[in-house]
Structure 1
Amino acid sequence: MRRALVLLATVIATPAAAQQDMSRVEIKVERVTPGVAVLFGAGGNIGLSYGEDGNVIIDDQYAPLAPRIAAAVKAVDPDPVRFVINTHWHGDHTGGNEAFGKAGAVIVAHDNVRRRMSADVFSKQMNETIKASPKAALPVVTFSRGVNFHLNGDMLQVTHVDNAHTDGDALVYWTRANVLHMGDTFFFKATYPFIDRESGGSIDGMIAAAKTGLGIVKPGGKVIPGHGPIATREDLQAYHAMLVDVRAKVAAGIRAGRTKAQVIASRPTAPYDGKVSTTGFIKPDRFVETMYDELKPKLQPARKR
């Protein structure tokens, strides 16, 4: 529980939301296409593949919500959850792992997800140590580049993207349904992107992940973000363009010798502030600040000796 609350505060929530009473969270189901649904609650959006071969969920939010998530899945399809695919290691996406693992689900994720969940992690942002997950919560099947699931009349194509939101991100694509789950490499409307540099994330990786997603999902397809409502391919395209544009503005400011405060004051996100929540967990200034801190060592001129 402590792990989940720490990551709730550091990953997607405002301070007020971090104190949210989980007993009041309602799990809502939105069907996307036959065999595909999304579960919304508190934490990362959950993708659901259901049908004759059983249920597969992509992410599982927080530990206290696991019984309600299981009930919501059962209301769609009475079969048990066979597989849990984690898009990355953060607790708002993996908190239910232990409960589903103990119930018999096979947990699948990138190699780095198991590595990060297996050890205590010190967060500089929170000045606190996040304890290792229990054995039952750890992925038992891991991959380096990707893996495919042939279930429920579709193929779920799981693709790793390097150093984007974290160093263990995975995109999950229903090839027949043309639905793509982007995990936290895509935040839609709810907040500006969170780039977890402590977990190997980077702005260039986020841009590359969005580009990879655009290369996977076909026109007319649906895109499930890590946080926010279900989106379209066009929404993902606009998100990619926003990342490229803001990065270019921050980079130009660094090359011009501007300080972090000056670049933030120039409001490089201004054209997008009406489309993205400016009161979400990652506010415009923090998004720019994170990008500045990452890019400055790469772009500032080398000192003459």
Structure 2
Amino acid sequence: MRNIPSFLLLLSLLTAQAQSNEVDITIDTLAQNTYMLTGSGGNIGIYVGKEKVFMIDDQFAPLSNKIKATITTLTDKPISYLVNTHMHGDHTGGNPNFNTSQTVLVAQQNVRKRLKINGAEKVSANEMDEQDYEKLLPEITFSDDLTFYDGEETVMLFHVHNAHTDGDSMIYFVNENVLHMGDTYFSGRYPYIDLNSGGSINGYINAHKKALLVIDSETKIIPGHGRPSNKSELENYVKILEDIKQIIQDEISAGKSLAEVKNNNGLTSKYDDQYGTGFISPERIREIVYVSLTSPIKD
């Protein structure tokens, strides 16, 4: 019986490796020096600077070698900074594989707090060793904003509160005019708002409005999931989320229960065909919004 956890860990690693063998890492060129990599998990941002590479998110650990190989087709410069937009494993799973003497991990302070808790639990369950646990954690954290300078480029990191989680960051490359929004934006699909990790519908919408204050009609947006986007699409997305929020709030004010709202397909039917075919179903988005509007934000 003592070997069961080890066996389950081995099985999960073999399954993950098999899945990674089927994943191709593709490249979208968004600006002269900025790229989006798509594989399995959150979209990766790559900025090739004057002497170094600035990377955003790293997907799952079994994909790290493929991701590194793809980056070498863009540049041979070292990855100096790797930013985690938030704490979920499809954006941070590769941290231990990228965290080297050349690469420094950066994130909003709540990301480190949550990764520290989750990582310690995995160590206790023999799902992660101590070395990988230490390399999982961001080495530089910030509260509200942080700015990097690379030659003529300015890279702005700013925290948006209680959106997808309580530790979300957006990263804006000013001269390249590219904004990475992490999972505060699911392009072309309903969003996942992690209510158990400090997320909220109000914070999610406010994050979009903050992004709209920064960008212009020419900005290229890297969403956490989905295809590259732009200001016009983001503006429309905000209107949709605000409409859904009001629809659900009206149901709450009318005394409808969570079950009634979840099962009422008509509430979001005008958006479901376009936005409800991804990870979050129409029923799930109605549940998320309902719970967010009727429950306190979880720390």
Question: What TM-score comes out, normalization by structure 2 length?
Answer: 0.87
Is the alpha carbon distance of 1:105 and 1:19 closer, same or farther for their aligned partners in structure 2, counting shifts above 3 Å?
closer
In angstroms, what is the RMSD of aligned CA positions? 2.6
CA drift at 1:139: 0.4
> Which residue in the other structure is 1:13 paired with?
none
> Which residue in the other structure is 2:117 paired with?
119
> Which residue in the other structure is 2:39 paired with?
41
CA drift at 1:225: 0.4
Q: Which residue of 181, 190, 198 maps to 1:200?
A: 198
Q: For residue 267 of structure 2, what is the amino acid of its counterpart?
A: P
> Which residue in the other structure is 2:256 paired with?
258
> Which residue in the other structure is 2:145 paired with?
146
CA distance in 1, matches of 2:109, 2:245: 29
> Which residue in the other structure is 2:62 paired with?
64
CA distance in 2, matches of 1:20, 1:236: 36
Which secondary structure does the structure 1 equivalent of 2:179 belong to? strand
Q: For residue 115 of structure 2, what is the amino acid of its counterpart?
A: M
Taking only the aligned residue pairs, the percentage that are identical comes to: 38
CA drift at 1:297: 4.5
CA distance in 1, matches of 2:42, 2:142: 21
Which secondary structure does the structure 2 equivalent of 1:76 belong to? coil
The alignment status of 1:209 with 2:207, answered yes or no, reads: yes
CA drift at 1:129: 11
CA distance in 2, matches of 1:282, 1:103: 38
CA drift at 1:167: 0.3
> What do the CA deviations read for 1:83-126 (whole angstroms, capped 9, x no partner)?
10110000100111111103631000000000000113899xxx
CA drift at 1:55: 0.5
Unaligned runs of 5+ in 1: 7-16, 299-305
CA distance in 1, matches of 2:16, 2:254: 39
CA drift at 1:269: 2.2
Which runs of 4 or more aligned residues in structure 1 lie more than 4 Å from their structure 2 counterparts after TM superposition?
Answer: 17-20, 128-133
The alignment status of 1:160 with 2:156, answered yes or no, reads: no
CA distance in 2, matches of 1:200, 1:284: 22
CA distance in 2, matches of 1:64, 1:228: 21
The answer to whether the 8 A contact 2:219-2:230 is kept is: yes
Q: Which residue of 214, 217, 220 maps to 1:219?
A: 217
CA distance in 2, matches of 1:297, 1:95: 30
> Which residue in the other structure is 2:287 paired with?
289
The answer to whether the 8 A contact 1:62-1:93 is kept is: yes
The answer to whether the 8 A contact 2:86-2:169 is kept is: yes
The answer to whether the 8 A contact 2:54-2:80 is kept is: yes
Q: For residue 34 of structure 1, what is the amino acid of its counterpart?
A: Q
Question: What TM-score comes out, normalization by structure 1 length?
Answer: 0.85
Is the alpha carbon distance of 1:130 and 1:289 closer, same or farther for their aligned partners in structure 2, counting shifts above 3 Å?
farther
> What do the CA deviations read for 1:164-201 (whole angstroms, capped 9, x no partner)?
00000000011112111110000012x31111011100
CA distance in 2, matches of 1:294, 1:248: 13
> What do the CA deviations read for 1:25-78 (whole angstroms, capped 9, x no partner)?
111111111011110100000011103221011101011111111111111011
CA drift at 1:19: 10
> Which residue in the other structure is 2:20 paired with?
22
The alignment status of 1:273 with 2:280, answered yes or no, reads: no
The answer to whether the 8 A contact 1:202-1:294 is kept is: yes
CA distance in 1, matches of 2:119, 2:95: 18
CA distance in 1, matches of 2:65, 2:289: 38
Which secondary structure does the structure 2 equivalent of 1:182 belong to? strand
The 5-angstrom pairing of residues 37-116 of structure 1 reads 37-102=35-100, 104-116=102-114
| Matched residue count | 280
Between 93-102 and 264-273, the greater mean CA deviation after superposition: 264-273
The answer to whether the 8 A contact 2:265-2:283 is kept is: no
Which secondary structure does the structure 2 equivalent of 1:184 belong to? strand
Q: For residue 141 of structure 1, what is the amino acid of its counterpart?
A: I
> Which residue in the other structure is 1:302 paired with?
none
CA distance in 2, matches of 1:237, 1:258: 30
CA drift at 1:268: 2.7
Is the alpha carbon distance of 1:170 and 1:68 closer, same or farther for their aligned partners in structure 2, counting shifts above 3 Å?
same
